[in-house]
Amino acid sequence: MNKKRQIFLDTETTGINKNGIHYIGHNIIEIGAIETIDRKITGKYFHTYIKPNRKVEVEAFKIHKISNEFLSNKPTFCEISDKFLKFVRNSEIIIHNAKFDVGFINYEFSKLNKNFRKIEEICTITDTLSLAKKKFPGKRNSLDALCDRYEIDKSKRVSHSAFIDAELLCKVYMLMTGGQILFNFSKKNDSKFSKKFFEKNQERSQVKLKILYASEDELLAHEKYLKLIKNRKSFI
């Protein structure tokens, strides 16, 4: 029986744009990816910071707080590319606003002197933003908004982080897709997974409804009302 392998992925970059797509000439500076098999966290993950070939824009820095100085001694994308491909190959990659991250990943590989097939040709891509828009039409469906909707603790997300966002995305997806949830977070991976959401729904399912029976006076009043209706019908 084939097991379903899913990778929850997020990236941070040197620049952003308002259209939420790859910003030409900009680079990935962080990749975070978490593996699940049959909806269970396995403990395997891929996480790295990447030295870009350009400076981080001020507006992007305000979002993720990753500085040029911090990235100066990190590996290049070329140095991590084989390891990254090995981790994600033949899996279903789940991304929030996939067009953005997929565009950046394909752009990075296109600059290397390798026979590279586009990431969507070697993996299945699932966009949780599209799923959320179908499930919650007309509502805000950012990762932040979805965490609030599902009561997921995002206190660790002081600033954007590819690895933290991949972890939050994993939780959002499991709740959003319903069915049997087989989370198995270890204390090392996540001790703050929001049990409140499950406990609240479990309490609702266990509530016993109180049955209220009519009093004698109420039964007599009801009988009188039925007789009144019957008498009125006899005159019609």
Domains recognised in the chain with CATH numbers: 5-194 (3.30.420.10)
Radius of gyration of the chain (CA): 26
Task: Output the average pLDDT for the chain.
Answer: 82
In this predicted model, what pLDDT tens digit does every residue of 141-160 receive, in sequence order?
999 999 999 999 998 887 88
pLDDT at 25: 81
Q: What is the rounded end-to-end Cα distance, in angstroms, of the chain?
A: 73
The binding site for substrate comprises 10, 12, 59, 64, 165
Q: 39 CB contacts (<8 Å, ≥6 apart)?
A: 4, 6, 174, 180, 181, 182, 183
pLDDT digits (tens, 9 = 90+) for 82-107: 999 999 999 999 999 999 999 999 99
Annotated binding residues for a divalent metal cation: 10, 12, 165
Binding positions = 10, 12, 59, 64, 165
125 contact partners, CB below 8 Å, separation of at least 6: 92, 93, 95, 98, 102, 119
Active-site choice (26, 96, 160, 222) = 160
Say what the pTM is: 0.75
Residue 26 annotated in active site: no
Q: Is the pLDDT of residue 220 over 60?
A: yes
